[in-house]
Homo-oligomer: A and B are copies of this chain.
Amino acid sequence: MGGDDAPTVPAAAARMAVEQHGLDVVLVGDAEQLNRLAPSVPAIAASQVIAMAEEPALGARSKPDASVRVAVRLLAQGLADAVVSAGSTGATLASALLDLGRLPGVRRPVLAAVLPTEGLGTVLVDAGASGDVQAAALVASAQMGAAYARVRGVPRPRIGLLNVGAEPGKGNDLARAAYELLTGLPEFVGNVEPDLVLAGRVDVVVTDGFTGNIFLKTLEAAHSKATGGGPGGAVLLGVRGEVVVAHGAADADELVSALRTADSLASGGLWQLIGAALGAQ
């Protein structure tokens, strides 16, 4: 029930994903509407909706029957393998924290977007989940982002730290502290400025969620296009399940991409791989 044109567009996307791609999709929301819009797709009822304008954590806590909460619970209960939401990112994150929980070693989950660079693209973490973090959180982000890149087919992802200059010592206090810690990861290749990120010099680019979201939105604005973290949606990393967040303005084709992303993440076992990567550290 989330997104600018819900439930029409999500219902259309579910039909396309089932009919054209053979995915196994369940819609969650106003069952009557959903059954009418997509008769061939099973619908599970959820009586509440968290609006975009609502305070996300409060909305999620106070609406246990919100469509996103019901969908995430299907995941927690093992009745679904992945969730796609085009609703409020904050509400989706809050629902994932409430009903799936964090992986050990994760203080705050992050959002991973895929930037359309050369080859398989570059994973941006954090694309907007957590604005105020310590340097250690960026190391966890890097590890989670690298696990995601591996599932996307990059065997040895190169990790860069988004920064205002290439040399060590560049940037703000957070970037300098993160640089020091990141040198402990074998995949770390150093600071990267925006131009090198776009040139595809790294497979994973790490930054805090505020800077990452500004970076992503600036790219989108410069290209006059809302990518919502790439055509496949942004992925929540650090929780016990696969959660994909699509742009609120995503059209049916973009939601189909997000559903296919979700399917491939579940097949790859991303969240378990992330748990193993963090535990191995």
Q: Which A residues have a C-beta under 8 Å from some C-beta of B?
A: 53, 128, 131-132, 162, 164, 167, 171-173, 175, 193-195, 197-198, 208-211, 213-215, 217-223
Q: A222 is contacted by which of B131, B172, B222 (Cβ under 8 Å)?
A: B222
Task: Give Cα A208 to B219, complex, Å.
Answer: 19
- Give 5 pairs: A residue, B residue, CB < 8 Å, sorted on A: A164-B214, A194-B217, A215-B215, A218-B219, A222-B223
A55 CB to nearest B CB, Å: 8
Judge whether A217 and B164 touch: CB under 8 Å: yes
| Cα–Cα distance between A175 and B220 once the two chains are bound (Å) | 21
With A128-B164, A164-B128 known to touch, is A172 a contact of B221 (CB < 8 Å)? no
Tell me, rounded to whole Å, the shortest Cβ–Cβ distance linking A169 to chain B. 8
A197 CB contacts on chain B under 8 angstroms:
221
A195 touching B172, Cβ below 8 Å: no
Cα distance A221–B164 in the bound complex, in angstroms = 12
Chain A interface SS verdict (over half): helix
- Give min CB distance, A83 to chain B, whole Å: 23
- A193 adjacent to B217 (CB under 8 Å): yes
CB-CB under 8 A from A175, the residues of chain B are 131, 210
In the bound complex, CA of A219 to CA of B218 (Å): 7
- The answer to whether residues A195 and B215 also contact, given A131-B172, A131-B173, A164-B128 and a CB cut-off of 8 A, is no
In the complex, how many angstroms separate the beta carbon of A163 from the nearest chain B beta carbon?
Answer: 8
16 extra A-B contacts, CB within 8 A, seeds A194-B218, A195-B220, A214-B215? A53-B167, A131-B172, A132-B172, A164-B210, A164-B214, A172-B210, A175-B210, A193-B217, A193-B221, A194-B221, A194-B222, A195-B217, A198-B222, A214-B214, A215-B218, A218-B218
- When distances are taken between beta carbons in the complex, the residues of chain B under 8 Å from A217 are 164, 193-195
Q: In the complex, what residues of B have CB within 8 A of residue A198's CB? A: 221-222
